């Protein structure tokens, strides 16, 4: 394979700027697929991605393009996620590329994540080619956006292709730019093997399938590969590249190529994303620079609704972790929910996606506890613990002080909504750091915000208060001391550990009250009255009551009713089984989830 | 000799009531005639010499729909068919449900002559506005007329159906309905508390229903008032003068066999529960092609666990409850051996009580009986 005819690139963009659509058009116009075979968004092959219209997992595809110079080029397109929670995965994909297409919406211009992704790409020394998309929109202002790209990012953009991915307009200009401007990969195919693992999937027949970019050397069937970090070794069974939606075997992968390796690897832990694959018989002296380890920001408990599915949940989490190294989990137990896992996520969307994937792809019913951040608890004996589960909070008498993580947030918003957004940040205990006008109609607001104030529903609140015009990016800052308290929920005078959470003193009363109201609606009436209380230590701060059931009786039961009546009672009994028993109160699974959505009614 | 009941379903009505979830619909005369012929055929098809040597019919019940839309002549023919193919006890209770506005003196006389000896009349309420909301086709005066006519022609065993918890019903309204009914001194009163069933017009209507406390008060009032007048509550919704309990319904609640004829009719027959197809055209088609065995659906063979469970959940509807000794004779196991945990749990909560040989609900237990009975269901 002639290296000079290979281009490895990705597409980066702010969410909704048309990245996946452009990928579809590229695949379509290069003739790897006929128009009839094209499904919308070919690259997004998980159901969940299709439904939400976003890209979660990095995917790769190889296409063949005949350029205007008459030569055929192999283009390896690696798709990247757009959401801020998945920066880590973007970074993984970028490491496998030599260049990036930057898609910017001709109407919306540069958004927060456009910037974030460009900086990531430049960090990886990638050649960035700007492309203006959606020029078919009536509101498109390509010249304004071109100027913006030059002014704000400092990229040459006057000759940027003006395209409509949706209508397939000028896609060939994009491909030409890829061939002309993105450098061909370098690397010696005869040097010791170094291949970067940027993703992997588990297949029940083939075992772990490693997605990699070969930087140096060659790998082929029969090579004894060695993972430089995990030290695992296995004989290669097959190598190949990515067709659209399928794996296509080939003889070898050499320096510059992007493809996959299978090697009967059964243990998902052996193939860490970011690790370097080398040849056991001709080892590289040093691994490639890996990815920086990411720390989970948001934690919550995940429990199987059916306690006997604990093992299934563990297996599923292990498999997900295989291609999502940012997912963290460890076993924990709850009095209310039994055996489960404390899981760490990059953000709330990441949490939701993992939860949905567990439910859909692994057919698990889950109970999720309220998400929280990592608090630092400084104890009077001078030690410090990192608290990820509110139930583990030491007795208040042992606590010297507590600290919570802050983020520095940048919110880009049209000037009409600046006031609304400032109000929102104020409510969330934000500290105003400044505002910059990007141009006359748009401003960049800078705030420092406690992370625990933005993990619940900040995105939603932001969108609704700006009619969808605000975009948001944040990065972690330091920990700062804060007056934090643990709020406990008592149901029928018994504390329910799975419902406890840490909250700022000022918001405790409000949250406690809302929790009680929500739970009152969720808990069915029992044969006795059930008090629901919110408490800080021994102090009750809110109370609601689920009244005792007055009537649950079938007035008529004659010959024809008996079968129906039995079904009714069976259902009732089944319903009871699905509930969580706390003392003698049966609590539906949904009650544990409902407290995640406290701010819905606002 | 085992005593059994026969249920005959008449799926016709003048107009469907807003709360009704029984299988019924208006129909023209041709359909009625064909349906009644099909019924005759189905009854005849059951005939088994062996069965008749060991089973005796002690109750026949015409339910609906509105059975009183059927002429006395046809009721007579159906009864003759039953008598021809089954052994019917001389003292059998033979009931028909009767709606005001559908039976005149001549018809009632005809029924009596045909062998009907018990009438069940649907009144529901004495308040005409409420009757209108319910979608009933009669007013109170029409009810009074049919009741008095029935007495005059000689019916000496009459049930009146009333309902509580109805839209726009007040405690005073209901109390008045009770007083009026008591002044007529029927032998039997069925007092139902309204349940909004899925699929009925009420499900989607905006109804001004009495609040929970008022609804329960109506229910308690029923028991108090009827007791004052010598009616014994013998089941959750049924009250009778001494010796006037409905024999047919007791068959259901004590787990004895019954055979159902006509669309949707359910049977408990020698350890099997099954029901007849619900589609009237399909029913008639199968009947005229004499494909009797294709007529049944929802066939369920009862296991011992099912039988024990049914014995309890149905038996507990009756106020005298379930006899511990009879349970043991019937199943060879002690009731408390099978359901000890459940009984203890709810006895401690004051919902079940064992007195002497009987396990029964307390008054509070009846109010929430479904919650308790659910725990009797097999795992």
| pLDDT at residue number A35 | 45
Q: CA nearest A182: which of A337, A340, A8?
A: A8
By CB atoms closer than 10 A (0-12, 13-18, 19+), residue A7 is: buried
Q: Is B299 exposed, middle or buried (0-12, 13-18, 19+ CB in 10 A)?
A: exposed
> What is the C-alpha separation between A385 and A388, in angstroms, rounded?
9
Whether A35 contacts chain B with CB within 8 A: no
As beta bridge partners, residue A100 has A10, A128
Give the pLDDT of residue A436.
Answer: 86
Contacts of B266 (CB under 8 A, 6+ apart): A559, A560, A562, A563, B7, B258, B260, B273, B274, B275, B276
Q: What does DSSP assign to residue A52?
A: H
pLDDT digits (tens, 9 = 90+) for A532-581: 999 998 899 999 999 999 889 988 889 888 998 999 999 998 888 778 88
Q: Beta strand A328-334 with A375-379: parallel, antiparallel or unpaired?
A: unpaired
Q: Is A205 on the interface with B (CB under 8 A)?
A: no
- The minimal CB distance from B371 to the residues A552, A556, A563 is found for A552
**Predicted ipTM of the assembly:** 0.91
The answer, for B298 touching chain A at a CB cutoff of 8 Å, is yes
CB neighbours of residue A475 within 10 Å: 11
Does A565 touch chain B if contact means CB atoms closer than 8 Å? Answer: yes
Q: Do B252 and A558 touch (CB under 8 A)?
A: yes
Query: What is the reported pLDDT for A54?
Result: 42
Tell me which of B196, B250, B370 to substitute to probe the interface with A (most A C-beta atoms closer than 10 Å).
B370
- The pLDDT of residue A597: 66
Q: Where are the beta strands (DSSP E) in chain B?
A: 2-10, 55-64, 88-98, 118-124, 158-164, 188-193, 232-235, 238-240, 258-261, 266-269, 272-276, 296-301, 322-323, 352-355, 358-361
Query: Does B373 touch chain A if contact means CB atoms closer than 8 Å?
Result: yes
A577 touches chain B (CB under 8 A): no
pLDDT digits (tens, 9 = 90+) for A344-375: 987 777 788 888 889 888 889 888 888 889 99
Given CA atoms A349, A350, A351, A355 in this order, what sign does their dihedral have? positive
Asked if A569 lies within 8 A of B313 by C-beta distance, the reply is yes
What stretch of H or E contains B143?
helix B140-153
In DSSP terms, which residues pair with A282 in a beta bridge?
A279
B11 secondary structure, DSSP code: -
B142-172 pLDDT, tens digit each:
999 999 999 999 999 999 999 999 999 999 9
Nearest Cβ partner of B298 from A527, A563, A565? A563
Distances from the Cα of A166 to the Cα of A113, A123, A136, A171, B201, angstroms = 21, 30, 9, 10, 49
Cβ atoms B148, B140 nearer than 8 A:
no
B155 CB neighbour count, 10 Å cutoff: 20
Angle at A375 between CA A371 and CA A381, to 5 degrees: 145
Long-range contacts of B26-30 (CB under 8 A, 24+ apart): B27/B280
Distance CA B61, CA B64 (A): 10
**Site from B373, B375, B378, B379 to mutate, A interface, most A CB atoms within 10 angstroms:** B373
Q: Which residues of chain B are within 8 Å of residue A565 when distances are taken between CB atoms?
A: 313
Q: Do B192 and A556 touch (CB under 8 A)?
A: yes
CB contact under 8 A, A553 and B266: no
- Residue that the structure tokens 């350890």 belong to: B271
Gap between the Cα atoms of B86 and B52, Å rounded: 6
pLDDT (tens place) for every residue of chain B, 379 residues total: 999 999 999 999 888 888 887 777 788 888 999 999 999 999 999 999 999 999 999 999 999 889 999 999 999 999 999 999 999 999 999 999 999 989 999 999 999 999 999 999 999 999 999 999 999 889 999 999 999 999 999 999 999 999 999 999 999 999 999 999 999 999 999 999 998 888 888 988 889 999 999 999 999 999 999 999 999 999 999 999 999 999 999 999 999 999 999 999 999 999 999 999 999 999 999 999 999 989 999 999 999 999 999 999 999 999 999 999 999 999 999 999 999 999 999 999 999 999 999 999 999 999 999 999 999 999 8
Alpha-carbon span B79 to B60, nearest angstrom: 9
**pLDDT, mean of each 10-residue run, chain A (602 residues):** 86 80 81 48 49 50 84 82 53 82 89 75 86 91 90 85 90 91 91 88 80 92 90 90 75 90 82 86 84 73 90 90 79 89 83 85 87 92 91 90 91 87 92 85 89 80 78 81 94 91 90 92 93 94 94 89 92 85 85 69 41
Q: Are B260 and B269 in contact (CB under 8 A)?
A: no
A352 φ/ψ angles, rounded to the nearest 5 degrees: -65, -40
Query: Given A553, A557, A576, which is nearest B368 (Cβ)?
Result: A553
In A362-459, which ranges are E strands?
Answer: 366-368, 375-379, 384-387, 399-414, 431-439, 442-450
Residue A573: which of B63, B273, B374 has the nearest Cβ?
B374
CB nearest to A559's CB, from B266, B317, B371: B266
Contact B365/A at CB under 8 A = no
Residues of A in contact with B374 (CB under 8 A): 569-570, 572-573, 576
Minimal C-alpha gap between B7 and chain A (Å): 9
Under 8 Å between Cβ of A3 and A92:
no
Q: How far apart are CA A211 and CA A238, in angstroms?
A: 12
**CB proximity B189 to A under 8 Å:** no
Taking the CA of residue B113 and the nearest CA in chain A, the distance in Å comes to 27
Distance (Å, whole) CA A221 – CA A209: 14
Q: What's the pTM?
A: 0.67
The residue length of chain A stands at 602
Nearest to A254 by CA among A158, A351, A185, A319: A185
Q: State how far Cα A90 lies from the chain centre.
A: 11
Residue A360 in contact with partner chain B when CB distance is under 8 A: no
């Amino acid at each position: 394979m002639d290296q000079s005819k290979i281009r490895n690139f990705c597409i980066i963009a702010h969410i909704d700027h048309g990245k996946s659509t452009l990928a579809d058009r590229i695949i379509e116009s290069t003739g790897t697929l006929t128009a009839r075979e094209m499904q919308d968004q070919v690259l997004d092959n998980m159901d969940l991605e299709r439904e939400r219209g976003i890209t979660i997992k990095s995917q790769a595809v190889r296409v063949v393009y005949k350029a205007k110079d008459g030569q055929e080029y192999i283009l390896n397109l690696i798709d990247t996620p757009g959401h801020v929670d998945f920066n880590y995965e973007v970074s993984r994909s970028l490491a496998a590329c030599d260049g990036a297409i930057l898609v910017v919406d001709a109407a919306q211009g540069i958004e927060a994540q456009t910037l974030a992704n460009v900086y990531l790409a430049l960090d990886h020394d990638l050649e960035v080619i700007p492309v203006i998309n959606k020029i078919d929109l009536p509101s498109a202002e390509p010249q304004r956006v071109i100027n913006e790209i030059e002014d704000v990012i400092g990229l040459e953009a006057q000759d940027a292709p003006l395209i409509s991915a949706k209508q397939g307009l000028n896609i060939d200009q994009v491909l030409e730019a890829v061939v002309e401007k993105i450098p061909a990969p370098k690397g010696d195919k005869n040097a010791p093997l170094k291949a970067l693992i940027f993703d992997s999937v588990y297949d029940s027949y083939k075992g772990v399938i490693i997605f990699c970019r070969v930087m140096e050397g060659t790998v082929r069937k029969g090579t004894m590969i060695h993972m430089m970090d995990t030290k695992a070794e296995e004989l290669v069974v097959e190598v190949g590249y990515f067709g659209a939606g399928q794996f296509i075997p080939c003889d070898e992968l050499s320096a510059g190529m992007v493809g996959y390796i299978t090697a009967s690897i059964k243990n998902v832990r052996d193939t860490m994303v970011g690790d370097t694959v080398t040849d056991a018989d001709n080892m590289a002296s040093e691994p490639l620079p890996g990815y920086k380890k990411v720390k989970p920001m948001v934690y919550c408990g995940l429990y199987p609704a059916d306690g006997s599915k604990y093992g299934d949940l563990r297996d599923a989490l292990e498999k997900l972790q295989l291609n999502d190294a940012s997912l963290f989990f460890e076993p924990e137990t709850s009095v209310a929910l039994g055996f489960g896992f404390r899981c760490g996520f990059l953000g709330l969307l990441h949490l939701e996606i993992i939860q949905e994937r567990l439910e859909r792809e692994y057919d698990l019913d889950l109970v999720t506890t309220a998400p929280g951040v990592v608090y630092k608890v400084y104890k009077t004996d001078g030690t410090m613990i990192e608290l990820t589960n509110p139930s583990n909070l030491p007795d208040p008498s042992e606590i010297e002080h507590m600290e919570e993580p802050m983020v520095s947030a940048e919110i880009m918003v049209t000037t009409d909504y600046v006031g609304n957004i400032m109000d929102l940040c104020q409510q969330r205990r934000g500290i105003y750091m400044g505002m910059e006008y990007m141009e006359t109609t748009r401003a960049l607001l800078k705030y420092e915000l406690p992370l625990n104030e933005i993990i619940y529903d900040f995105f939603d609140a932001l969108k609704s208060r700006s009619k969808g015009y605000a975009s948001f990016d944040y990065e972690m800052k330091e920990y700062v001391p804060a007056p934090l308290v643990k709020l406990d929920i008592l149901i029928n005078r018994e504390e329910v550990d799975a419902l406890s959470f840490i909250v700022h003193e000022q918001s405790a009363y409000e949250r406690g009250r809302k929790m009680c109201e929500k739970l009152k609606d969720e808990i069915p009436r029992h044969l006795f009255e059930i008090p629901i209380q919110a408490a800080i230590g021994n102090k009750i701060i809110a109370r609601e009551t689920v009244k005792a059931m007055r009537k649950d009786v079938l007035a008529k039961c004659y010959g024809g009713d008996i079968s129906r009546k039995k079904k009714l009672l069976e259902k009732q009994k089944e319903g009871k089984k699905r509930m969580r028993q706390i003392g003698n109160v049966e609590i539906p699974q949904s009650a544990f989830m409902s407290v995640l959505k406290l701010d819905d009614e606002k | 000799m085992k005593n059994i009941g026969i249920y005959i379903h008449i799926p016709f009505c003048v107009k469907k009531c807003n709360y009704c979830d029984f299988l019924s619909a208006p129909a023209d005369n041709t359909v009625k005639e064909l349906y009644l012929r099909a019924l005759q055929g189905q009854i005849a098809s059951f005939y088994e010499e062996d069965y008749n040597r060991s089973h005796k019919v002690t109750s026949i019940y015409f339910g609906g729909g509105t059975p009183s839309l059927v002429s006395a002549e046809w009721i007579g023919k159906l009864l003759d068919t039953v008598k021809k193919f089954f052994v019917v006890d001389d003292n059998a209770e033979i009931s028909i449900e009767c709606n005001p506005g559908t039976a005149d003196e001549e018809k009632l006389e005809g029924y009596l002559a045909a062998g009907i000896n018990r009438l069940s009349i649907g009144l529901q309420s004495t308040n005409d506005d409420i009757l209108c909301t319910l979608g009933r086709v009669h007013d109170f005066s029409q009810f009074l007329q049919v009741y008095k006519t029935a007495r005059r022609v000689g019916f000496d065993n009459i049930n009146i159906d009333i309902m509580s918890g109805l839209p726009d019903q007040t405690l005073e309204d209901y109390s008045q309905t009770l007083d009026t009914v008591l002044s007529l001194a029927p032998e039997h009163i069925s007092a139902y508390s309204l349940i909004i069933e899925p699929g009925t017009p009420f499900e989607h209507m905006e109804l001004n229903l009495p609040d929970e406390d008022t609804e329960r008060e109506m229910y308690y009032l029923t028991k108090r008032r009827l007791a004052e007048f010598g009616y014994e509550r013998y089941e959750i919704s049924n009250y009778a003068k001494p010796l006037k309990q409905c024999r047919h319904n007791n068959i259901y609640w004590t787990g004895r066999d019954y055979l159902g004829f006509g669309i949707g009719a359910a049977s408990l027959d020698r350890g099997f529960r099954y029901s007849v197809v619900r589609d009237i055209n399909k029913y008639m088609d199968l009947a005229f092609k004499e494909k009797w065995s294709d007529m049944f659906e929802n066939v369920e063979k009862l296991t011992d666990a099912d039988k024990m469970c049914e014995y309890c959940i149905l038996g507990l509807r009756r106020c005298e409850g379930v006899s511990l000794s009879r349970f043991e004779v019937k199943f060879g196991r002690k009731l408390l051996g099978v359901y000890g945990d459940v009984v203890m749990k709810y006895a401690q909560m004051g919902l079940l009580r064992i007195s002497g040989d009987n396990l029964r609900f307390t008054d509070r237990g009846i109010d929430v009986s479904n919650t308790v009975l659910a725990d009797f269901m097999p795992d």
